[in-house]
């Protein structure tokens, strides 16, 4: 065991070695310094969005087709300019507190805003200004906003329906997978009976279950919930089981020697030690749940974003279809980012944790 004196001596020797080689010290300082806003890059980003707004407003639209949504698009790009200028002002000479967080946020995401501004400008020029790309397959970006706003009632209902279906399926499948995996990892008898079921039932594609599920359930909503839950249950079960079984036996031996009960071993030893695997299971389950949700709504459920996309495609209303796809991307990405954020916070104690 390393004593405190030995640890202090090791740190002192390291500091002496770093001081003797300033290049190494400078490289380490750059590596671990929190990224702040690059003011020239932020200036380029603000200029690009300002240029995009000016092009939308002042360059004449094409006469090859009727262009919709230019004013709402200009309002949106102008709002981006105002917000970014405000954040840029806050990030100047930021040293701590909220202003430092704003500076770090700009340092992390400025390149993405530059890319988004460039894509918006390019699409508007190629569609609304020059008609190189034409509706209905490639509509101007402003038309996506007007279509989404014009159909906001039905689109809002579809978002709510998809969110409820997804969350209910995730909750049921996640809890069932957690309990099944915990039982399989804790009990050899449960593992004996559940292992074949998990191996043969879990990997079956969602499409294979649809004819049976929509006949077995009283309505399409609960059939879709079952499909999502089944998709979530499989990775949660497998990885929770693997996490429980990978715990060193010495942990349980020490706790039992100190008089720990079975409840303590399950709740205070098994579950905390298996948390990395459990979060990995959730991470794997979320994308497959999104896929299953879309398939279920496309083929059987008469509401939701998947149904809305399929319905608009049938009517060749591609701008509304693209708007719904964009909303689905934002919804899925936000849920995945939330899961990773919770994972990073809960597993902050884990050594060499890969952070997303």
Bond preceding residue 164 cis, omega within 30 of 0: no
Encode pLDDT of 229-249 as tens digits.
999 999 999 999 888 888 888
Residue found by looking up tokens 């970006």 in the block: 141
Determine if the peptide bond prior to 160 is cis (ω within 30°): no
Residue with the larger pLDDT of the pair 119 and 252: 119
Residue 34 has pLDDT above 80, yes or no: no
pLDDT above 60: residue 37: yes
From 173-177, 193-197, 326-330, the region with the lowest mean pLDDT: 193-197
Crossing angle for the helix pair 206-216 and 271-299, to the nearest 10 degrees: 70
**Model confidence at 114, in pLDDT bands (50, 70, 90)?**
very high
Task: Tell me the average pLDDT across 29-36.
Answer: 59
Which phi and psi angles does 38 have, rounded to 5°? -90, 105
Given pLDDT bands bounded at 50, 70 and 90, which one contains residue 305?
confident
pLDDT at 17 over 60: yes
Give the residue-averaged pLDDT of 14-42.
66
Residue 354 above 70 pLDDT?
no
| Angstrom distance (rounded) from CA 236 to CA 233 | 5
Residue 207's pLDDT band (boundaries 50, 70, 90)?
Answer: confident
**N-terminal to C-terminal alpha carbon distance within the chain:** 34
Average pLDDT value for residue range 254-282: 83
Instruction: Quote the percentage of the chain above a pLDDT of 70.
Output: 88
pLDDT, residue 1, reads 47
| Predicted pLDDT at 18 | 59
Range with the poorest average pLDDT among 37-46, 90-99, 162-171: 90-99
**pTM, entire model:** 0.78
Model confidence at 294, pLDDT cuts 50, 70, 90, reads confident
pLDDT above 50: residue 184: yes
pLDDT value at position 52?
A: 94
Task: Using alpha carbons, select from 137, 121, 138, 140 the residue that is nearest to residue 66.
Answer: 140
When pLDDT is averaged across residues 96-106 and rounded to a whole number, the result is 85
Given a cut of 60, whether residue 330 has pLDDT beyond it is yes
pLDDT one-digit tens code per residue, 54-88: 999 999 988 888 888 889 999 999 999 999 999 99
Q: How far apart are CA 269 and CA 257, in angstroms?
A: 14
Give me the pLDDT at residue 68, please. 85
Token pair recorded at residue 115: 């890319």
| Residue 110's pLDDT band (cuts 50, 70, 90) | very high
**Contact in structure between 99 and 36 (CB atoms under 8 Å):** no
Quote the pLDDT of residue 202: 79
Q: What are phi and psi of 93, to 5 degrees?
A: 55, 35
pLDDT at 170: 92
The overall average pLDDT reported for the chain is 84
């Amino acid at each position: 065991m390393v004593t405190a004196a030995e640890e202090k001596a090791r740190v002192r020797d390291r500091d002496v070695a770093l001081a003797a080689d300033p290049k190494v010290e400078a490289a380490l300082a750059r590596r671990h310094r929190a990224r702040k806003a690059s003011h020239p890059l932020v200036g380029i980003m603000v200029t690009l969005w300002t240029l995009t707004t000016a092009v939308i407003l002042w360059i004449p639209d094409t006469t090859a087709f009727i262009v919709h949504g230019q004013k709402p698009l200009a309002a949106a790009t102008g709002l981006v300019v105002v917000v970014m200028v405000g954040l840029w002002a806050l990030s100047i000479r930021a040293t701590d507190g909220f202003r430092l967080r704003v500076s770090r946020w700009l340092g992390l995401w400025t390149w993405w805003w530059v890319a988004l501004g460039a894509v918006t400008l390019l699409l508007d020029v190629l569609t609304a200004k020059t008609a190189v790309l034409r509706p209905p397959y490639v509509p101007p970006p402003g038309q996506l906003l007007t279509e989404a706003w014009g159909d906001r009632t039905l689109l809002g209902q579809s978002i709510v329906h998809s969110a409820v279906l997804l969350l209910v399926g995730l909750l049921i499948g996640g809890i069932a997978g957690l309990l099944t995996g915990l039982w399989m990892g804790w009990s050899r008898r449960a593992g004996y009976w559940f292992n074949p079921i998990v191996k043969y039932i879990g990997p079956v594609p969602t499409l294979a279950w649809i004819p049976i599920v929509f006949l077995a359930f009283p309505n399409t909503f609960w059939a879709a919930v079952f499909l999502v839950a089944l998709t979530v249950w499989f990775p949660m079960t497998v990885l929770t089981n693997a996490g429980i079984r990978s715990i060193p036996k010495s942990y349980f031996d020490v706790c039992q020697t100190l008089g720990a009960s079975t409840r303590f071993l399950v709740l205070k030893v098994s579950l905390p030690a298996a948390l990395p695997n459990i979060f990995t299971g959730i991470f794997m389950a979320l994308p497959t749940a999104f896929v299953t949700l879309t398939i279920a709504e496309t083929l059987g459920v008469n509401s939701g974003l998947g149904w809305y996309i399929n319905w608009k495609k049938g009517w060749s209303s591609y701008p509304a279809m693209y708007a719904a796809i964009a909303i689905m991307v934002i919804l899925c990405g936000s849920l995945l980012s939330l899961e990773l954020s919770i994972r990073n916070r809960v597993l902050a104690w884990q050594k060499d944790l890969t952070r997303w």
